[in-house]
Amino acid sequence: MSAEAHERTGAGYRREALLHAQAKTWEAVNAIGRRVRPGMRESEAKALAGAVLAELGYQRRWHPDIVRVGPNTRLMWKERSPVDVVLGEDDLFFVDLGAVWDGHEGDAGTTFVVGEDETMRACAEACRELWDRVAAAWRELRPTGRELYAFAKREATAMGWVFNHEVKGHRVGDFPHAIYKAPDLGAIGHEPGDALWILEIQIRHPERPIGAFHEDLLAR
């Protein structure tokens, strides 16, 4: 399929509305990050995510709320958490939300750290740094989606982290983008267009049972 086919939108699509949806989703992610506390179970943090979205007036979800705690941060979005982990005093968790605002899809997620574990902080910071590096490569080098994720894997390895190449990004747009059946960002053989694709980055520690996740909209 062509870039045009992969990047179709509906008649109601507006770039500024998509950017607004992304900003509102980030507002929710960060609000949840501030309110999750040690002693909360992963399921309780997920329930909090739903409450925060409701407080902010979202229209609907376009994918389920995802919160991963401790060792579950190594899991992909489609995997079920095997244990309802309790957040420890020195621990980490990530939040991933897909919500619709004014008919447009936001999708945002990042990793939060509680306590003073330096390795956990380094993991979360490395994930955000890697996202920034890959997004900069998109802006400056104009690679295909496949090239972009090959670059991400090389960078993650050079930084000393294990890259999850099964998490490859995806389309967003006016709801529902799914009707256009676009492939994953990491599978496309053309340059990803502006304000249409979510770059997802997930890494894990090479030895400890922890990981980190960060995603955001590719926009110039």
**Category of 70 on φ-ψ map: left (φ > 0), alpha (ψ -120 to 50) or beta:** left
C-alpha R_g of the chain: 17
**φ and ψ of 180, to 5 deg:** -90, -10
Strand ranges (DSSP E) for the chain? 60-69, 91-101, 104-114, 162-163, 170-171, 197-204, 211-217
Tokens for 73, please give them: 């941060």
Q: Whole domain around residue 46: which residue ranges?
A: 3-217
The amino acid occupying position 127 is C
**φ and ψ of 97, to 5 deg:** -120, 140
Q: How many alpha carbons lie under 13 Å from residue 162 in its C-beta half-sphere? A: 13
Tokens for 34, please give them: 């501030």
Per-residue tens of pLDDT for the chain, all 220 residues: 688 999 999 999 999 999 999 999 999 999 999 999 999 999 999 999 999 999 999 999 999 999 999 999 999 878 889 899 999 999 999 999 999 999 999 999 999 999 999 999 999 999 999 999 999 999 999 999 999 999 999 999 999 999 998 899 999 999 999 898 899 999 999 999 999 999 999 999 999 999 999 999 999 9
The Cα–Cα gap between 138 and 146 comes to 11
The enclosing H or E element of 126 equals helix 118-141
Q: Contact, 73 vs 94, CB < 8 A?
A: yes
Read off the CATH number of the domain in which 149 is found. Answer: 3.90.230.10
Q: Say how many domains are in the chain.
A: 1
**φ and ψ of 112, to 5 deg:** -115, 145
So what's the pLDDT on residue 1?
66
Number of neighbouring beta carbons within 10 Å of residue 186: 23
So what's the pLDDT on residue 20?
98
